[in-house]
Structure 1
Amino acid sequence: MTTSSSISLRNLGASDLKVSPLGLGTWQFSKGKRLAGIKFWPDLEKQLIQEIVKVSLRGGINWFDTAEIYGKGASEAVLADALNELGDEAKEALICTKWWPAFRRAKSINQTIDQRLEALKGRKIDLYLVHQPFSFSSANEEMNQMAQLLQEGKINHVGVSNFSEKKLREAHGALKEQGFPLVANQMKFSLLDRRIERNGVLDAAKQLGVTIIAYSPLEQGILTGKFHKNRELIKNIVGPRKYLSGFKESSLTRTQPLIDLLERLAKEYDISTSQIALNWTIHFHGETIVAIPGATKKHHAEENIGALTFRLSDKHLAEIDKVSKEVSLK
């Protein structure tokens, strides 16, 4: 195991923006507001949110992922409050947020940008993503709007989220024509969901110089191993997550060999199971993939930053890869 007193930052895509291999996902900062009528997260207290942000920042995480749709701006505002509360300590903290495309056209990107900036209370948008590939406009039209925001200095970098290989290439090409790089594609990726390795998205990202931002890297907590040890914990999950296929008895049985391996390596490295899973995620494909685990408790944030303090050996990266492919759910 290798350790370092400082976190090695990576360039985000073909940009000069330097990010830590892990960011903090902040959907859970939505203050209990619902998405599409469904409550996904409990209402976290302001003091807890501030503690999570502070622990993350002090542990080496330098960027935070939020979105318009997360509580209709509530997550953005709460995150901004927490960072502003830290003063100079958070002066260089980076923010990624996202435009929600459903039932909208590309011109909404420019029409709503001031709302995003207002929600972020004076903080910059370092990375602005198209959240989903299903607006009423083409990727080309969306990137033209994004290019205008770049030219106006309202955002600093552009990415997309949940874009297929075809859509990713289209968006990358359109923004390139405007003289700007597309730097990121945020996709679901974990040891139990490796679809981007098979559907062309990861290969395209490597070819184009686009960073993959992996969301749900711990598969809603399944990769911590706690639900394999105690099935009763599933009943206590807030919201519809408990009904995901990964929590079914058959899925937990199928994925047990991977959890056993992660737990064995956790003992060998003297860290936690989740830290092994996160470390694999941010190292197996070189520097192409970064990840945004969330945190609803202080110790979750501490677990996240612990994954940045070591690197799995090539032998263990390969061993995890092999077992993961044998039991992966997607």
Structure 2
Amino acid sequence: MAEGILRSLGGSDLALSPLGLGCWQFSKGRGLVGKFWPVLEDSVIRDITRISWEGGINWFDTAEAYGGGQSEEMLADALSALGDAGKGAHVATKWWPAMRTAGNIGKTIDERLRRLKGWTIDLYQVHQPYSFSSASSEMNAMAKLVEQGKIRHVGVSNFSAAKMVEADKTLRRHGLRLISNQVKYSLLDRRIERNGIMQTAKELGVAIIAYSPLEQGILSGKFHSNPELVKQISGPRKWSSGFKPDALKRTQPLITRLSELAGKYGASPSQISLNWLIHAHGETVFAIPGASKPHHATENVNAMRFALEEEEIRELAELADHSKR
């Protein structure tokens, strides 16, 4: 892995790159959510993983729900293909809670470990807040896995501010802390700044892990410069309201400024957007852009090579606010 800036994930001892690689797209088209992305060849998955690792990304986020464990397997194989050089890579995965109880956490952990083929689960997350059990019950089950040495740290995903507090309070009884909350966050979706999640994360020392950091590609600017590309989008993504002509018109001023800053930093609008995320709130926010082609991985790693100025960070936030009006 290339040397880069690392930061602590929440209150843990995990020193991670500000960007990780989101691995939903490694699902091989399996399962309901796996069909969101095209099926990637094994060689492409290995290339994406290698480019990410060599470029300074040292952690990879997957989940049980991504192809029913297929993403976990593909990630494990790709990391193992790195050989001794990749031994420092960190893996985060998630338990799927829908229609389950907290008791399922302990019953399915060995399947997660089997899918990951010997790779340590550095961060195990509850994928979403809806199940047949309380957040406290889930955290008690997670704490037991830490005590058993089957996982290292506990995180959540899509939890409200109140549920974050509940989860952290329960973990404290076990001498642990909530490390992260993985939520949807980008320049075009800043709800967590208004609903208490960001503020609570800062108060608790919990890291925010931003998924969909490029708003399904809208922040790349390519759909603004060529709206015909919207027709070529496959899967459910094409129905996102952000791709509609009136929405693209509203967000054009933001894209224009992203493009101007891209020229200044020798970057792309996507890289400026990612850089905004990882610098707008100190070291609180991490982001997990995906990559379905090797050049996407190169784009991701280069987004960590510079830092926007504070005035530019404020300006982009204001333009993003105006684009919603």
Aligned residue for 1:32, secondary structure, equals: coil
User: In the TM superposition, what are the counterparts of 1:1-330 in structure 2 within 5 Å?
Assistant: 6-35=3-32, 39-328=35-324
TM-score using structure 2 length:
0.98
Amino acid at match of 1:179: G
CA drift at 1:314? 1.2
CA drift at 1:236? 1.3
In 2, the alpha carbon distance for the partners of 1:34 and 1:145 equals: 26
- The answer on whether the counterparts of 1:162 and 1:185 sit within 8 Å (CA) in structure 2 is yes
CA drift at 1:6? 3.4
- The answer on whether the counterparts of 1:193 and 1:328 sit within 8 Å (CA) in structure 2 is no
CA drift at 1:57? 0.1
Amino acid at match of 1:244: S
Aligned residue for 1:22, secondary structure, equals: coil
Amino acid at match of 1:10: R
In 1, the alpha carbon distance for the partners of 2:105 and 2:3 equals: 37
In 2, the alpha carbon distance for the partners of 1:6 and 1:273 equals: 24
Deviation >3 Å, runs of 4+: none
Amino acid at match of 2:15: K
Give structure 1 stretches of 5+ with no counterpart. none
In 1, the alpha carbon distance for the partners of 2:205 and 2:179 equals: 7
Amino acid at match of 1:134: Y
In 2, the alpha carbon distance for the partners of 1:271 and 1:227 equals: 18
In 2, the alpha carbon distance for the partners of 1:254 and 1:102 equals: 36
Give structure 2 stretches of 5+ with no counterpart. none
Deviates more, 1:267-276 or 1:145-154: 267-276
Amino acid at match of 2:13: D
Amino acid at match of 1:214: A
Deviations 1:135-166 (A, max 9, x none): 10000000000000000000000000000011
Aligned residue for 2:31, secondary structure, equals: coil
Aligned residue for 1:35, secondary structure, equals: helix
Amino acid at match of 1:115: E
CA drift at 1:197? 0.1
Deviations 1:154-195 (A, max 9, x none): 000000000001111111111111110110000000000000
TM-score using structure 1 length:
0.97
Aligned residue for 2:215, secondary structure, equals: coil
Amino acid at match of 1:182: L
In 1, the alpha carbon distance for the partners of 2:324 and 2:119 equals: 39
Deviations 1:282-323 (A, max 9, x none): 000110000000000011000000001000111211111111
In 2, the alpha carbon distance for the partners of 1:327 and 1:285 equals: 21
Aligned residue for 1:221, secondary structure, equals: helix
Aligned residue for 1:174, secondary structure, equals: helix
In 2, the alpha carbon distance for the partners of 1:271 and 1:17 equals: 28
Amino acid at match of 2:25: Q
In 2, the alpha carbon distance for the partners of 1:314 and 1:273 equals: 17
Deviations 1:198-238 (A, max 9, x none): 00000000000000000000000000000011111111112
In 2, the alpha carbon distance for the partners of 1:268 and 1:19 equals: 27
CA drift at 1:34? 2.9
- The answer on whether the counterparts of 1:263 and 1:273 sit within 8 Å (CA) in structure 2 is yes
Deviations 1:228-283 (A, max 9, x none): 11111111112010100111111101101100000011011111111000000000
Identity %: 60
Amino acid at match of 1:80: A
- The answer on whether the counterparts of 1:33 and 1:39 sit within 8 Å (CA) in structure 2 is yes
Count of residues in Structure 1 that have an aligned counterpart in Structure 2 = 324
Amino acid at match of 1:208: L
In 2, the alpha carbon distance for the partners of 1:35 and 1:242 equals: 16
Q: Cα RMSD over matched residues? A: 1.0
In 1, the alpha carbon distance for the partners of 2:231 and 2:35 equals: 16
